[in-house]
Amino acid sequence: MYEEPRYLPGGDRYLLVELGNEMTLELNFLAQGLARAIDESGMKGVIETAPCFATLLVHYDPDKVSYSDLCRELRAVHSNLGSVDDIEVESRLFTFETMYLDPWTEECIRDYCKNVVEKEYDADFVARINGLEDANQLVRVHSATEYWVAALGFYPGVAFTMPLDPRSRLTAPKYNPPRTQTPQGAVGMGGACTCIYPAATPGGYQIFGRTPVPIWDTQSRYDVFGGEVVLFRAGDRNRYVPVDLDQFKEVEARISEGTYVYNVAEYQKFSLRQYKSWVSTIDATERF
């Protein structure tokens, strides 16, 4: 975390606030807390804010506020935030039925090996480079935690998430070159981020599971989206619950029928101070 944020121009209508250079919950809390404070301040000329892991992008109207004036006002808001430990964020918790080591991502990997380049099966690769016994332990470790939605990312509605339990921290490089296809609902990792692919697209994350539960709702089928196309918001949490093929197909059928009910705990206050207190009670080097 920087002692003072860095303010950088992002074109003629955006300003980037750099708060640090690490991927930590503390920095993301600061980014989200600063975004909320800016929104609540009613700052002149600010159109919207977009927090990320350790940065905040501010979209503004240069006809209403100059870059230099905006920097000055942002410094004032930041200085009044107080301790990051005192920040609380409203957070929803979603549960996603997920089939790990599934046939769809396995077929996708086989196709990549056949048509692009040979590579180790993604789950085996992620397990090996993280010092796990095998792909089955990867499933245990990956599914043993809640994931924090730090930002919405590279594709509309895709959540960049980090594990809240330090015992589930994993990391993996992305494909090089990337895939030309990824199954809709694929669950994968790039760097230390886990995400769900909302649609069948090219991609580069290591993939080792799939959920049938949509994170897009372009036809307004589900009330939980609140009229939005995308499900997630920064500050949400999600969890992956392992299911077998029969359970996967049962959920998929209910989604097709329109009878599926999202498993979501509505807004709760997530406290960084309480989280850090809990982390201090566990051995972060243990694995599941």
The answer to the question of residue 65 being in a domain is: yes
pLDDT in single tens digits along all 288 residues of the chain = 888 899 999 989 999 999 998 888 899 989 988 998 999 998 999 999 999 989 999 999 999 999 999 999 999 999 888 788 888 888 999 999 999 999 999 999 999 999 999 999 999 999 999 999 999 999 999 999 999 999 987 778 799 999 999 999 999 999 999 999 999 999 999 999 999 999 999 999 999 999 999 999 988 899 999 989 999 998 999 999 999 999 999 999 999 998 999 999 987 889 899 999 999 999 988 998
Q: What distance lies between CA 18 and its chain's CA centroid?
A: 19
Residue 126 and residue 228 in one domain: yes
Element (H, E) at 239: strand 237-242
Q: What distance lies between CA 239 and its chain's CA centroid?
A: 11
Residue 152 and residue 25 in one domain: no
- Look up the CATH number of the domain holding residue 66: 3.30.1360.40
The answer to the question of residue 274 being in a domain is: yes
Assessment of whether the complete model's pTM goes beyond 0.85: yes
The torsion angle over the Cα atoms of residues 233, 238, 243 and 249, rounded to 10 degrees, is -10
Residue 58 and residue 188 in one domain: no
Q: Which residue has tokens 């594990």?
A: 163
- Return left, alpha or beta for 7; rule: phi > 0 is left, psi -120 to 50 is alpha, else beta: beta
Domain count, the chain: 2
In terms of DSSP H, where are the helices of 190-233? none
- Look up the CATH number of the domain holding residue 185: 2.40.100.10
Residue 156 and residue 220 in one domain: yes
Tell me phi and psi for residue 76, to 5 degrees. Answer: -65, -45
Q: Specify the 3-state DSSP secondary structure of 179.
A: strand
Q: Which domain holds residue 267?
A: 90-279
List the end-to-end C-alpha distance of the chain, in Å, as a whole number. 30
- Going by C-alpha positions, the residue among 247, 116, 267, 141 that lies closest to residue 194 is 141
Angle, helices 25-41/67-79, rounded to nearest 10 degrees = 110
